[in-house]
Amino acid sequence: MADCLLAAGFELAQHNEKADILVVNTCSFIASARKESDAAIREACAMKKKGLYLAVIVTGCLPQRYFDRIQRQYPNVDAFLGIDALDRVASTARRLISTEKARPLVDIPPKPDRIIERHVAGVVFSTGAYAYLKIADGCKRRCAFCTIPQIRGPHRSRSHSSLLSEAEELINRGFRELTLVSQDVTSFGHDRGEVHALEKLLRSLDSLDGDFWVRVMYAHPGGVTTRLLETMASLKHVVRYLDVPIQHADAKVLARMGRGNTFKDVVSLPDRARQVMPDIVLRTTCLVGHPGEDKRAFNTLLEFVTAARFDHLGVFVYSPEEGTLSASQPDRPRAEIAAERRNQLLAVQTRIMREKQQALLNSKGVVLLERQEKRRRWTWMGRSYREAPEVDGAVLVNNVDKVAHIGDFVKVRYTGFKGCDMIAQAIDKGD
Ligand code: SF4
């Protein structure tokens, strides 16, 4: 949307207060995300009432899913754009400026099925040395608890060529990590009938010139094949890191979640991945409190997580969503039991993380510098291949050369840890 606005001659304001038009891009995946979106729309409308803005445009998943409700709730909003209309934001803004005609303008195609391509890397909102490369949108899977396929529509992949040209430009602009994302990266290309398209994309990205990392996030366990793991292992730019949300490890709960066919893939994942890449870093997320998760099922998950020793693990408490199969299922654990289970899993993971941090001490690694710390001269925050941006903690590096820049790769020796972060000393190249 930022690219479209720029191309149409608009400028992006550095602060909300300096803007004429405010675009509120929303999420409506779960209740807490909707709450945040609602708060942002309320704030925008209140500021418009005070005369700060000419117009407020609300875009994305909330109007896509709940247009009737939010139209009634926010009569001050000037335009609503659905998922497939995001690249019409500039023409919408233009119409708002040039006409006093009846508001709101509404452009919400009911069933999203477009893929909005991006052949040049435009505005990048991430800070640091990484940029997200969104390779597809929507989802072909039907997990019983999830609203994403209903909101964002069927899975559709971007073209190989647009991804490559965007990646090349990002690298030329100095980004040192391309983080591949979509609702399920392992489905890439399947909508076009292509097989092994993700492997092909990784090989193409790997062949680009430059010093950079490629990181793969959101891999569905059913799509993590030995072939994919072997491809990753063979490529020099693709880091040995994989994010695979397993959700659960009990066969019956996985079946209730609509992910029953992934049971074998889930329980075999850590061994399969480490056999191909012994140094692979595995991240996962689990969902506790889903209908059908009794004490025995939860213990199965707890034992699995204890034995699997994931490097990073996030835990969500199930939230029933209107229009999903899970919401109508019986035997849902009480909220306090679900919260307690989340705490139990996190306690186990904290112990595993400490042991892993301890084991790293005195070993060497490579860190991508991302932010110079102001309070302590020559101290930098960075990430090694072990940490994905925004979710996994960081590496605090001391003793960095005075002339270092964001995006430099430095060799380090690990000297300590603090919370989720590692502490390290930069060392000479020859060390
Ligand atoms: S794979 Fe992910 S996005 Fe797709 S339906 Fe399942 S949970 Fe939702």
- Please tell me the distance between residue 373's alpha carbon and the centre of ligand 1 in angstroms: 38
Chain-centre distance of CA 61, in angstroms?
A: 16
pLDDT more than 90, % of the chain: 89
Chain-centre distance of CA 332, in angstroms?
A: 28
- Residue 147 CA, closest ligand 1 atom number: 8
**Interval 26-51: pLDDT, tens:** 999 999 999 999 999 999 999 999 98
Question: What would you report as the CA-atom Rg of the chain, rounded to the nearest whole angstrom?
Answer: 23
Name the band, by pLDDT with cuts 50, 70 and 90, for residue 377.
Answer: low
Confidence check: pLDDT of 378 > 70 = no
Query: What integer is the mean pLDDT of 353-364?
Result: 98
Q: How far is CA 71 from CA 40, 81, 166, 394, in A?
A: 15, 12, 36, 41
- Please tell me the distance between residue 320's alpha carbon and the centre of ligand 1 in angstroms: 15
**200/56 Cα distance (integer angstroms):** 42
Name the band, by pLDDT with cuts 50, 70 and 90, for residue 431.
Answer: low
**Interval 62-107: pLDDT, tens:** 999 999 999 999 999 999 999 999 999 999 999 999 877 778 999 9
Name the band, by pLDDT with cuts 50, 70 and 90, for residue 376.
Answer: low
Computed over every residue of the chain, the mean pLDDT equals: 95
- Please tell me the distance between residue 146's alpha carbon and the centre of ligand 1 in angstroms: 6
Per-residue model confidence (pLDDT) at position 401: 86
Q: Which of the listed residues 146, 244, 247, 262 should we mutate to test ligand 1's pocket, taking the one with most ligand atoms within 8 A of CB? A: 146
Confidence check: pLDDT of 165 > 80 = yes
Confidence check: pLDDT of 119 > 80 = no
- HEC string for 2-53: HHHHHHCCCCCCCCHHHCCEEEEEECCCCHHHHHHHHHHHHHHHHHHHCCCC
Confidence check: pLDDT of 429 > 70 = no
Which domains does the chain show, CATH number per domain?
2-107 (3.40.50.12160), 130-360 (3.80.30.20), 364-426 (2.40.50.140)
Per-residue model confidence (pLDDT) at position 430: 57
Within 10 A of 375 (CB to CB), how many other CB atoms are there?
5
pLDDT more than 70, % of the chain: 98
